[in-house]
């Protein structure tokens, strides 16, 4: 199972994990040098102000998967030019997304964000995601464990799409793998396992 560190961007900077006492964020990122990073850009998602300059800096040493809430094709182009290798599209922010139009201008992978709750309402994944390369599920492990139907929905999604799940603990990888998830996005802000030992 692929494990991808997730970095939060808020107010124009990377959110520094609270547990980092003797380790700087730059030192932590150095551990992931040349690895893939998932960038969860809250400024882009919430205010439509993605941190393109930070993408440029991070892309020098990392493969970037950017989730910045693009709302038009130009937003995708901006992220790709700034260094994104993969992009996550959020249907609630870009209702009339034309994935084929995106794929005409970029060979980068395009993922759709989906929640299992929305999936259960529509009953069909195609109305939610379009012609994407894969999906990102932000439902948490305890939400899925407590609801048999959600677990079955996730298994169904994983059969059809390369699926990545948001996780807080690397030790839960076996649980997610059993459901068919391709990889985990581990939030370094919350996952103390990234702490220097």
Mean of pLDDT values over 173-190: 89
Q: Please determine, for residue 191, whether its predicted confidence score (pLDDT) is greater than 80.
A: no
pLDDT digits (tens, 9 = 90+) for 65-124: 999 999 999 999 999 999 999 999 998 888 777 787 888 888 899 999 887 765 544 444
Look up the CATH architecture of domain 2-194. Alpha-Beta Barrel (3.20)
C-alpha dist (Å) from residue 117 to 27, 50, 153? 38, 27, 9
pLDDT digits (tens, 9 = 90+) for 139-156: 877 778 777 788 888 898
Q: Please determine, for residue 17, whether its predicted confidence score (pLDDT) is greater than 50.
A: yes
Q: Please determine, for residue 189, whether its predicted confidence score (pLDDT) is greater than 70.
A: yes
Measured distance CA(142)–CA(156) in Å, rounded? 18
> Of residues 31 and 81, which shows the higher confidence score?
81
Measured distance CA(127)–CA(106) in Å, rounded? 23
Percent share of the chain, pLDDT over 90: 43
């Amino acid at each position: 199972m692929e494990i991808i560190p997730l970095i939060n961007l808020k107010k124009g900077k990377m959110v520094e994990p609270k547990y980092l006492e003797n380790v700087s964020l730059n030192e932590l990122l150095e551990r992931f040098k040349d690895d893939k990073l998932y960038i969860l850009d809250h400024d882009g998602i919430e205010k439509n102000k993605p941190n393109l300059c930070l993408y440029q800096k991070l892309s020098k040493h990392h493969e970037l998967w950017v989730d910045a809430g693009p709302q038009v094709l130009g937003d995708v182009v901006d992220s790709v030019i700034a260094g994104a290798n993969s992009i996550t599209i959020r249907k609630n922010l870009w209702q009339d997304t034309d994935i084929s139009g995106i794929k005409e201008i970029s060979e980068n992978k395009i993922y759709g964000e989906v929640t299992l709750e929305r999936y259960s309402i529509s009953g069909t994944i195609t109305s939610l995601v379009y012609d994407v390369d894969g999906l990102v599920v932000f439902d948490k492990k305890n939400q899925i464990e407590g609801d048999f139907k959600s677990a079955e929905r996730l298994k169904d999604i994983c059969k059809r799409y390369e699926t990545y799940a948001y996780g807080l603990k690397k030790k839960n990888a076996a649980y997610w793998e059993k459901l068919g998830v391709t990889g985990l996005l581990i939030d370094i802000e919350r996952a103390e396992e990234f702490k220097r030992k």
